[in-house]
């Protein structure tokens, strides 16, 4: 399938739900003759009527012309039966997420379509290799995973099954680029890129709730304020549907032969069992009104307090380049540790330690990482048992001078944002170790598939790979759990960096 050109391919879309009609919209607006098929003929007609309304709204907003809308609509036909798909050159299925259903569908199509017809599955987590098994010419089966809503979301995962040739994937990549999408190539791993690497975003949030570290709304606030995420994990899973997100987690967990890193949460299972699935049931973590509005965490109004204390800085604070500038501090003492000493209190940037387990002789406050201290509205802090109420008040007064609120949580190694991000990075490293996708495609997948502010490798460059590795090492030492084990890929990356640095230093010494 080298030099395969799909730019004028006749396309069939199977499934007239939100995803199916969205894919059909993309196909017709980009010039493809398209046929839409669903077992429910009435549902298909309603979906097409809805598409006509969508095009009318796009014309109204000036996004497309009336002529473009008319031409696009003229390219779409409704199939009366599956035999009407016989002439399709590219079939994209968007049916229920069940292996047997997808296999049966492609087996039916194989009997009526050309042996050169490409069968693309919009599966989000099922093995493409498994779908292709038992299909004549399995090399034509490929994953083409759009994100909902398909016309809006930029990312498309192109999934190469065991027998899928690279040429087919490249042809689909060219097609998706023509459709103004951001395509990423992935090998057939459970969950592919996005649904695999995103698991810690949910899992670590639910673990924090289970360990009673924070409330769900406070946790969401922390991830948005400190991490720069558009939505917190509790808000996002309410939007996705707790039942849907839980099902994907279960699928990935089982597909990885019950790898502990992907274990589902009892917190989420309880919501699912109760039928509190989020927005669609008007209750999940949050309660929703008829307009789907809900109450979010609001920090207290900052009142600037009188502050008198001796303040000294240790360390480079390289992971938080704007913090010292925001606080009007300069590096006074050299140290391998990042510490701001406020009288007898050590304010430390977390590196995965436990305040109560590792700091037994000094009053210690651990601070979560913040993506932009220049604009920070709040910091998330925890403290050890030596700190008294007056010590916490002193810390609050210190930050109040700079209009920064303090959000206290219980002692939680790596706190909330840093812990989430280093585990996302670690999962990305595991995917790289297994050759699942390139660094660039992994970053693009997470930025455009789930709207993260940065890709995992971009975060790693910002934090420093050594810092990420040390944080994971500390977490693993505390918990002793496989899910916190640093990836071999990350360890090798850090070792290579250290080797390059050592060689550079040696060369400079020799030149001197």
Residues annotated as catalytic (active site), given as ranges: 124, 145, 157, 195
Phi-psi region of 15 (alpha: psi -120 to 50; beta: other; left: phi over 0): left
- To which residue do tokens 């379509």 refer? 113
Closest by Cα among 3, 6, 14 to 118 = 6
The first and second tokens of residue 144, run together, are 């083409």
CA distances from 180 to 78, 144, 156, 157, 213 (A): 25, 15, 10, 14, 43
Residue 59 and residue 297: Cα distance in Å, rounded? Answer: 39
* Residue 263, burial from CB neighbour count under 10 angstroms (0-12, 13-18, 19+): middle
Q: 195: which residues sit within 8 A by CB, 6+ positions away?
A: 124, 125, 248, 252
Residue 199 and residue 179: Cα distance in Å, rounded? Answer: 29
CA distances from 221 to 231, 293, 367, 377, 414 (A): 9, 16, 15, 11, 17
* Residue 74, burial from CB neighbour count under 10 angstroms (0-12, 13-18, 19+): exposed
Beta strands across the sheet bearing 345-349 = 311-314, 339-342, 345-349, 363-367, 378-383, 405-408
What residues are paired with 93 via a beta bridge? 14, 121
Q: 232: which residues sit within 8 A by CB, 6+ positions away?
A: 205, 219, 220, 221, 222, 223, 224
Residue 254 and residue 190: Cα distance in Å, rounded? Answer: 9
Closest by Cα among 428, 433, 461, 462 to 444 = 428
Q: Is the Cβ–Cβ distance between 16 and 36 less than 8 Å?
A: yes
What SS3 class is residue 52? helix
* Residue 73, burial from CB neighbour count under 10 angstroms (0-12, 13-18, 19+): middle
State how beta strands 118-121 and 141-146 pair: parallel
What SS3 class is residue 156? strand
């Amino acid at each position: 399938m080298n030099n395969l050109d799909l730019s004028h391919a006749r396309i069939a879309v199977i499934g007239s739900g939100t995803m199916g009609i969205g894919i059909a919209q993309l196909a017709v607006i980009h010039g493809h003759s398209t046929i839409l098929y669903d077992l429910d003929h009435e549902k298909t007609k309603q979906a097409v009527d809805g598409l006509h309304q969508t095009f009318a709204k796009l014309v109204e907003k000036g996004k497309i012309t009336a002529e473009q809308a008319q031409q696009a609509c003229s390219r779409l036909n409704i199939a009366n039966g599956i035999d009407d798909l016989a002439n399709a050159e590219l079939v994209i299925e968007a049916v229920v997420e069940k292996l047997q259903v997808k296999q049966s569908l492609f087996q039916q199509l194989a009997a009526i379509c050309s042996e050169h017809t490409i069968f693309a599955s919009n599966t989000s987590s099922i093995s493409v290799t498994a779908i292709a098994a038992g299909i004549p010419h399995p090399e034509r089966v490929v994953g083409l995973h759009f994100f909902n809503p398909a016309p809006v979301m930029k990312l498309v995962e192109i999934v190469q099954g065991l027998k899928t040739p690279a040429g087919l994937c490249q042809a689909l990549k060219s097609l998706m680029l023509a459709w103004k999408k951001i395509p990423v190539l992935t090998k057939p791993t459970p969950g592919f890129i996005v649904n695999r690497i995103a698991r810690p975003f949910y899992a670590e949030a639910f673990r924090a709730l289970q360990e009673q570290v924070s409330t769900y709304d406070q946790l969401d606030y922390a991830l948005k304020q400190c991490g720069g995420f558009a939505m917190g994990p509790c808000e996002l899973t309410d939007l996705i549907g707790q039942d849907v997100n839980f099902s994907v987690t279960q699928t990935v967990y089982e597909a990885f032969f019950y790898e502990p890193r992907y274990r589902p949460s009892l917190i989420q299972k309880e919501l699912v069992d109760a039928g509190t699935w989020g927005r669609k049931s008007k209750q999940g973590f949050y309660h929703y009104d008829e307009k789907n509005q809900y109450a979010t965490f609001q920090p207290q109004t900052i009142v600037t307090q009188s502050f008198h204390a001796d303040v000294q800085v240790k360390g480079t604070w390289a992971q938080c380049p704007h913090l010292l500038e925001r606080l009007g501090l300069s590096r006074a003492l050299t140290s391998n540790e990042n510490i701001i000493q406020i009288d007898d209190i050590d304010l430390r940037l977390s590196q995965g330690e436990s305040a109560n387990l590792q700091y037994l002789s000094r009053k210690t406050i651990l601070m979560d990482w913040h993506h932009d201290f220049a604009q920070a509205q709040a910091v998330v802090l925890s403290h050890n048992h030596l700190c008294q109420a007056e010590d916490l008040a002193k810390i609050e007064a210190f930050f109040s001078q700079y209009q920064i609120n303090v959000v206290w949580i219980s002692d939680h190694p790596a706190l909330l944002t840093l812990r989430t991000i280093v585990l996302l990075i670690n999962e990305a490293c595991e995917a790289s170790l297994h050759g699942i996708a390139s660094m660039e495609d992994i970053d693009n997948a997470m930025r455009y598939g789930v709207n993260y502010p940065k890709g995992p490798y971009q975060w790693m460059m910002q934090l420093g790979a050594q810092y990420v590795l040390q944080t994971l090492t500390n977490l693993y030492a505390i918990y002793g759990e496989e899910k916190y084990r640093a990836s071999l890929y990350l360890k090798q990356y850090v070792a290579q960096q250290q080797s390059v640095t050592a060689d550079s230093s040696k060369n400079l010494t020799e030149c001197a």
